[in-house]
A and B are shown apart, each in its own frame.
Chain A
Amino acid sequence: MQRGKLRTIGYHVARWVVVIVFAVLLAFPFYWMLITTFKKTADLYTLENNPFIFNLPPTLEHLRLLFGQTQYMRWVANTALVGVIVVAITLVLALPAAYALTRLTGRWGQRIGIGIFLTYLVPGTLLFIPLSRVVALLNLQDTIWSVVVVYPSFTVPFSIWLLMGFFKSIPRELEDAAMVDGLSRLGAFFKLVVPISLSGILTVVIFTFTLVTQEFVYALTFISPESQQMLGVGVPTFLVRGDVYYWGSLMAACLIASIPIAILYNLFLDRFIAGFTVGAVK
């Protein structure tokens, strides 16, 4: 009995040690962004100062520089705009496709679905060279429209996959009953299936939006002017002048962009993960 109790205590202590050590290591860069954001330049660049504390009083100078003298807000706006349009394109393409593949195409639906999911594995770093030519041909280079056109190529496959999981859980009898009542197949899709799948659709919306904010390679390849940048590329490219890193403003830019995206993603995380583990977890 005594041994069992000791073991339980040992287990609890070990668990806390593991959780705290990992949480500190993994979250440390974000804590570092936070503290750097509010430190005076003189404080940041004095080697003798303890970097973990404020040796001089905190300051807002880096935030003022970021919002006043850079195009940061422009990049935020570009990213938000691209995000909204890509979400719309993704829903228009993925919703009907996912429904058709779960309900209307028989056993081929599942196979095509797996095929579409596999295209999600084809990375941007394999496609960006030919795509840069395609984007130039379409005369879209150096505008946000280049990424608006290209991003659905990776948001649609994963969204179809997620939505297929959702549609499968809707009982067929519901749609059959609606069609007995006079709705056409398409009517049943719009008036019945779409409304009861709202939580699945919301998952796709958040997932697509966060993927857009996280993408780097295409935005770096297709867009060069400062005013047309997406967040992820604008911050590391244009907050560095030559060899001078404005670390205070840079860290502020990273932190301010990361936290809202992280919170959004976190809310829907379990559903995204379900998309990755379909087939392995039953």
Chain B
Amino acid sequence: MAIGESQAPAGAVGVSTPPPLAAGPRVPWRRTPEGRARLLGIGMFAPAVLYITALIGVPFVLAFVYAFTDVKVGSTSFHWVGLENFRSILQSPSFRRALANSFIFTTISQVLVIAGSTTLSLALRDKFHGRGFARFLILLPWVAPISLGAIGWKWILDSLYSVINWVLVGLHFYKPYSAPMWLGEPVLAMASVILVHTWRLLPFSTVILLAGQTAIPKDIPEAAEVDGAGFWRILFQINIPMMLPIINVAVLFGIIFTFTDMTVVYILTAGGPFDSTQVLPSLAFFTGILAGDLSQGAAISLFLVPILVIVAYLMLRMAHRAETS
């Protein structure tokens, strides 16, 4: 019995051998085996698609709608105000600062993450005694809840009892009570936020790169070594170029995770001092939720969309390239 015939459901005996052309009574498409499978398929994925549409699609559209209205918490007012919200946020220094910070934090932390994770993934590539334990320690920042990790850093960077300051004072870089206030001065606070983002994403990027390295053939660098190429030359002319596609994957996810994150800033500095560490998501939260100005908050968060669109486009292009090659 051919497999094609066997797919006709038992109850569909009369349907299983339809006339190839419209000679006899026409069989509706939905009664054919393919049609039935297709309908069952639609029935099986429809609930998930509806759920995602209701909780991602609808709020996504609402975010755009809100940004052009005057909707506020505790008020029934709902008027179209055109670009008023955008005009007003673009004039606000806090917003401009947040927009700039979002790019600064994402760019610097991603550069550090890629440099660090490339180094670390090369060191973890071959099996060695204790690699499993080392991997567990290295992964902790990524797998533990970020809000809790950030509190750990808040304690490490405490204005008075910072362990970093204790060491700096001990090494006589600073006099007691005059050590830096990590979270209290704008530039240091920005550096602290970048540090925590880097700390958080470095493990994620490392495991992505490790996964990618298994696909890289080992004989090419080995052959180059036999031919007399030095360590650095092999690294920069063979290993790293071969890792580029997977580094791209790590960077794209890293950009999304950093650019759209508000937890690190909210816990460490709450945007302070004087809005110097505010980023788009945290400013949207303070404006839209805490201050209740939903429409302006929505307008601020819309500035995340262009980055998301660019990253999504690049990912699709990469997936397409992998599919066709």
Contacts and interface: CB of A to CB of B under 8 A. Distances in A.
Contacts of A105: 38, 41-42, 45
Task: Please report whether the interface of chain B is mostly helix, strand, loop or mixed according to DSSP.
Answer: helix
Given A29-B149, A273-B207, A128 B285 contact: yes
Nearest to A113: B45
Contacts of A68: none
Interface string A238-255: 000000010100110110
Nearest to A127: B59
Interface size class of A (residues with CB under 8 A): 35 or more
Interface stretch (A59-67, A196-204, A261-269): A261-269
Contact of A152 (B3, B51, B153, B280): B51
A124 B318 CA distance: 25
Interface in A104-160: 104-106, 109, 112, 114, 116, 118-119, 121-134, 149-150, 152-153, 156-157, 160
A180 B1 CA distance: 10
A82 interface: no
Listed residue (B41, B231, B298) with the most chain A CB atoms within 10 angstroms of its CB: B41
A27 B60 contact: no
B168 interface: no
A112 B136 CA distance: 35
B319 A236 contact: no
Interface in A50-93: 50-52, 92-93
A124 B176 CA distance: 43
B308 interface: yes
B298 A100 contact: no
Interface of B: 1, 3, 6-7, 9-10, 36-38, 40-45, 47-49, 51-52, 55-60, 62-63, 66, 71, 116, 119-120, 123-124, 126, 128, 134-141, 143-156, 158, 160-161, 163, 166, 176-177, 199, 202-203, 207-208, 211-212, 214-215, 231, 245-246, 248-249, 253, 256, 260-263, 266-267, 280-281, 284-285, 288-289, 294, 297-298, 301-302, 304-305, 308, 311-312, 315-316, 318-319, 322-323
